[in-house]
Structure 1
Amino acid sequence: MGLAGMISGGAAGAMASAPASAVWTRTCQVLKHELGEATFGSWLGQASLREMGDEVCLVAATGVARDWIRRHAWRRIGELWMQHDPMGRRLDLTCRMELESVGAYAGSMALAAPAAANALALAPAIFEVEAETAPVAARQGRLLGLQERFTFETFVAGPANEFAYSVAQRVAAWSDGHFNPVLFHGPYGFGKTHLLNALAWAAIRTQPARRVVYLTAERFTSTFVKALQDRQTAAFKDELRNADLLLIDDVHFVAGKPTTQEELFHTMIALVEDGRRVVMTADRSPTEISEMEPRLRSHLQAGLVCGIEPADRNLRLGILQRKLATLAGQGGFHGEARPEVLQFLADRFTDSVRELEGALNTLVARVGGKLANLSLDEAQSILRPHLSCNERRVTVDMIQKLVAEHYSLKQADLISERRARAVARPRQVAMWIAKQVTTRSLPDIGRRFGGRDHTTVLHAVRRIEALKAEDAGMARDIDVLLRKLRG
């Protein structure tokens, strides 16, 4: 629709009483046509309008979006606003973060006003986490993607992650003598994101005046690409290189992206040389990220590389107990479950803490406050769909071969009549694993171990359960076997 048509006599009469939102809608129609759908969506698509009496304010989604609008579209927006608003209301400009931090927008952000420049200079930027007060820190954390449930208080530490946990706490306390940069690495679901979020929250609360920046590598990449397209790389660099603490999650995402790696490398060097701190996470160590640019890999290795190992059985049980207490508090029920149910979860879901917690979530969603009365067989039945993928791939034969190899035996030894402890104990381990990770019944498992009775299998399962609790070596053997079995 042409501009002249929109301000024709009849339309103008209708607009005389139109709310500001209607005026903005008509303005947007013209802007979309002039700027293009993609550019409009990137910078103005998430903007909103706030009204208070005769004052109207356009609230950009981020500080960078606000600055782009001010430089590239504000004059045109002003022209269109005046043409479409017969009431002659003034339109100001701010960003969502500043609005939440200051708590008001009135009369401070107009382009021509000198006060606006000062306000803009003081406004938080796209990645910044303001922490002047706890409520403000919480709002900004949510805005930037920090998860409130991921704190040091909810992080369960154990032998597999205690070194990384200790390092994260030292960085969050702004302790001197830190290594820089720090990289936490481990497979998916090992708690890296939890640790990085916890570090961010603690750092904000410890030193509210310090500037903390938290973002994923994917967000770093997408924002950098957008800055290149819109010739805003200087603003992008300023946003990151003024940080006192830069936290980047899943840095392996930039592998294979030369331009993004180049920018990340220079950002990291600028911060480290200026005495500022950099912490990242990755799904593997820098030496294993084959497509990472050598200079970036070298500087990551020059700092402190902390590997996070798979959670051992005791740590998995601790995680389940903490998660159950949280769910019980949220659901208003007594947070208890039968020990054999929690042990089954801890032994069955060994590859990822997320999968472990997800299994518990499933049980609680199904039975709620009746969890304390849930039997092991009922729990296995509820979780069967979650186990089916692995169960279809794992067979008793595979288990026997793996256990025999682990204990330097032959598969035939496990199905033989030999009762020597060196054979009987591995046989019991194999039976226990078969019960945990396959759908075979006890009689069926017994038949596959040389035609043994189901009571023999049941005895083996109970014996290994007891040994796992009292023998650390046995618990480690089973953890290793389960991980090998699942690839």
Structure 2
Amino acid sequence: MAQDLNQISPIEINVKDLWHIVLKKLNNEFGNEIFNSWIKNIKVKSIDDDILYFSVPTRFIRDWITSHYLDKIIFFLNAENPNIRRVKISIDNMLSASHEKLEESSSETIKYQNRSSNLSQSDDWPLDERFTFDKFITGPSNELAFASAKRIAQSEKFDFNPLFLYGGVGLGKTHLMHAIAWEISNKNPNAKVLYLSAERFMFQFIKSLRQKDTMSFKQKFRSVDVLILDDIQFMVGKNSTQEEFFHTFNSLLDLNKKVILSSDRAPSDLEGFDERIKSRLSWGLVADILPASFELRYEILKKKSAELFKTNNNHHTLDDSVLIFLAKTIVSNVRELEGALNKVVTFSNIMNKKIDVELTKTVLKDLLRSNNKRITIDEIQNKVSNYYNINVDDLISSRRLRSFARPRQVAMYLSKKLTSRSLPEIGRKFGGRDHTTVIHAVKKIDQLKSENEKFDEDVSVLTQIITSS
């Protein structure tokens, strides 16, 4: 029997405390922008056995959370309380009204903050003061992106437009985009600089459609001097949003306004994007950011550690062997590298312990274990085959029986979500299939997850089996 968490009871305190812990983890996982746009809208409603019930203001928010963040929510909930295995999200109309009021209030507050800092931003997402050009450490893997970003930020007459930066997660794209916005705004305080994520662009566009106020939306985005749009890969498959973006993009270029974009892949690899847009994105300068070399990771750690020790007043010294160990061990991305260093220094400061390699290994044991254990497509194929009780050979074969086809689509979906492999690479691992087959599989599984609770549960269980093994 479901218990209403609006009633005062011991379980209310436990579950709400648990959700508060999970919210912190989700904020760290996805960052402030995604957290504030989507996850903070979730309210705990009730609990029934192994199901935790949530409510959100709108159907759009529910569907977006279900498609993009539900797996992580379940994972973190289950880590804190193994008895919670599923969540269900309903729509609360009362929340919808308060959500609109909160948005208006937040917008006014942030606009005031922007005015007080003399930063000419039109959007309600402030820039991070840490992300400036002088704090960006360069090496062979990012020097073209860095030089291009400085060029477009500092030059009145620019040789290229748009600037398109692409690279994996945590390599510095967002840092450079914030740095561009800071540089332009400091040089010309009257410039209208608009920075936001593609998710936020899409959220505002959908909101304008719902409120039948698209003209205000168009005016806001087409009257800026500089548009900086982060992570545009989130527009894949969103045809109406792409269409509006395309017209906004063209309008700004025609007016000789600066446009800076970022993605996790090159324009030509943006499957699900209109060909016109992919072609237009490539007209300017496309600069990639590659994973950092050992030397660059070491220099980043050296500079970051000096900042941390100064900020925390830590009287312990950091042995050079610790920096070398971290630079050799954590190779996935810079964000994870800096987070690991921050965790070690903070632990040392709190516990008053000297930082050495052994302490570092102890503090980071979970992170080091996950770095040693990388999920592969072969592993996903084996786990999915075992779950559905079929052979791996049948999973990757050309046979179209439903008993093979659906597990095959699930395995492709999980390969896309849980690995960094490209669509063509995934297709090749599934019997040499084309990348469009993988795209179709991902869309089909997303659709089935939203329509069928049992199927959604199966995919969630499989995800947990693969990530926890």
TM-score after normalising by structure 2: 0.56
Asked whether the 8 Å contact 2:122–2:192 carries over to 1, the reply is no
Task: Tell me which of 98, 101, 106 is aligned to 1:41.
Answer: 98
Cα separation, partners in 2 of 1:336 and 1:301, compared to 1, 3 Å: farther
Residue identity in the other structure for 2:367: H
Tell me how far 1:338 sits from its aligned partner: 1.2
Residue identity in the other structure for 1:331: N
Asked whether the 8 Å contact 1:338–1:373 carries over to 2, the reply is no
Cα distance in 2, alignment partners of residues 261 and 142 from structure 1: 19
Tell me how far 1:368 sits from its aligned partner: 2.1
Asked whether the 8 Å contact 2:122–2:193 carries over to 1, the reply is no
Tell me how far 1:370 sits from its aligned partner: 8.6
SS in 2 for 1:45: helix
Cα separation, partners in 2 of 1:141 and 1:46, compared to 1, 3 Å: closer
Cα distance in 2, alignment partners of residues 349 and 360 from structure 1: 10
Cα distance in 2, alignment partners of residues 233 and 356 from structure 1: 42
Task: Tell me which of 133, 145, 169 is aligned to 1:164.
Answer: 145
Cα separation, partners in 2 of 1:225 and 1:168, compared to 1, 3 Å: same
Tell me how far 1:333 sits from its aligned partner: 2.3
Query: Residue deviations 1:272-296, cap 9 Å, x none?
Result: 0110010011001011111111111
SS in 2 for 1:299: helix
Tell me how far 1:334 sits from its aligned partner: 4.8
Give the equivalent residue in structure 2 for 1:464.
none
Cα distance in 1, alignment partners of residues 303 and 326 from structure 2: 14
Cα distance in 2, alignment partners of residues 260 and 392 from structure 1: 37
Cα distance in 2, alignment partners of residues 178 and 319 from structure 1: 30
Cα separation, partners in 2 of 1:40 and 1:392, compared to 1, 3 Å: closer
Q: Do residues 263 (structure 1) and 320 (structure 2) align?
A: no
Pick which of 140-149 and 297-306 moved more: 140-149
Residue identity in the other structure for 2:142: N
Tell me how far 1:97 sits from its aligned partner: 5.2
Tell me how far 1:250 sits from its aligned partner: 0.4
Asked whether the 8 Å contact 2:316–2:354 carries over to 1, the reply is no
Query: Residue deviations 1:409-437, cap 9 Å, x none?
Result: xxxxxxxxxxxxxxxxxxxxxxxxxxxxx
SS in 2 for 1:157: coil
Unmatched runs of 5 consecutive residues or more in structure 1: 1-31, 48-59, 63-94, 102-128, 395-487
Q: Do residues 137 (structure 1) and 119 (structure 2) align?
A: yes
Asked whether the 8 Å contact 2:141–2:289 carries over to 1, the reply is yes
Give the equivalent residue in structure 2 for 1:328.
309
Residue identity in the other structure for 1:322: K
Give the equivalent residue in structure 1 for 2:174.
193
Cα separation, partners in 2 of 1:295 and 1:320, compared to 1, 3 Å: same
Tell me how far 1:40 sits from its aligned partner: 2.7
Give the equivalent residue in structure 2 for 1:358.
339
Residues 295-374 of structure 1: matches in 2 within 5 Å?
A: 295-334=276-315, 336-368=317-349, 373-374=354-355
SS in 1 for 2:118: helix
Cα separation, partners in 2 of 1:339 and 1:148, compared to 1, 3 Å: same
Asked whether the 8 Å contact 1:212–1:243 carries over to 2, the reply is yes
Asked whether the 8 Å contact 1:327–1:335 carries over to 2, the reply is no
Give the equivalent residue in structure 1 for 2:357.
376
Give the equivalent residue in structure 1 for 2:215.
234
Asked whether the 8 Å contact 1:324–1:335 carries over to 2, the reply is no
Tell me how far 1:237 sits from its aligned partner: 0.5
Q: CA RMSD in A?
A: 2.6
Give the equivalent residue in structure 1 for 2:458.
none
Give the equivalent residue in structure 2 for 1:177.
158
Q: Do residues 278 (structure 1) and 259 (structure 2) align?
A: yes
Cα separation, partners in 2 of 1:346 and 1:360, compared to 1, 3 Å: same
Asked whether the 8 Å contact 2:233–2:263 carries over to 1, the reply is yes
Tell me how far 1:177 sits from its aligned partner: 2.9
SS in 1 for 2:324: helix
Cα distance in 2, alignment partners of residues 261 and 42 from structure 1: 26
Tell me how far 1:163 sits from its aligned partner: 1.1
Query: Residue deviations 1:74-96, cap 9 Å, x none?
Result: xxxxxxxxxxxxxxxxxxxxx44
Q: Which has the larger radius of gyration?
A: 1
Cα separation, partners in 2 of 1:361 and 1:393, compared to 1, 3 Å: same
SS in 1 for 2:287: strand
Tell me how far 1:151 sits from its aligned partner: 1.1
Tell me how far 1:240 sits from its aligned partner: 0.6
Tell me how far 1:257 sits from its aligned partner: 0.3
Asked whether the 8 Å contact 1:189–1:354 carries over to 2, the reply is yes
Asked whether the 8 Å contact 1:151–1:201 carries over to 2, the reply is yes
Q: Do residues 217 (structure 1) and 185 (structure 2) align?
A: no
Report % sequence identity: 35
Query: Residue deviations 1:280-339, cap 9 Å, x none?
Result: 110010111111111111100111110011111111111101211221121012584211
Cα separation, partners in 2 of 1:391 and 1:200, compared to 1, 3 Å: same
Cα distance in 1, alignment partners of residues 237 and 315 from structure 2: 50
Give the equivalent residue in structure 1 for 2:226.
245
SS in 2 for 1:136: coil
Q: Do residues 385 (structure 1) and 378 (structure 2) align?
A: no
Residue identity in the other structure for 2:325: F
Cα separation, partners in 2 of 1:364 and 1:221, compared to 1, 3 Å: same
Q: In the comparison of the two structures, how many residue pairs are matched?
A: 284
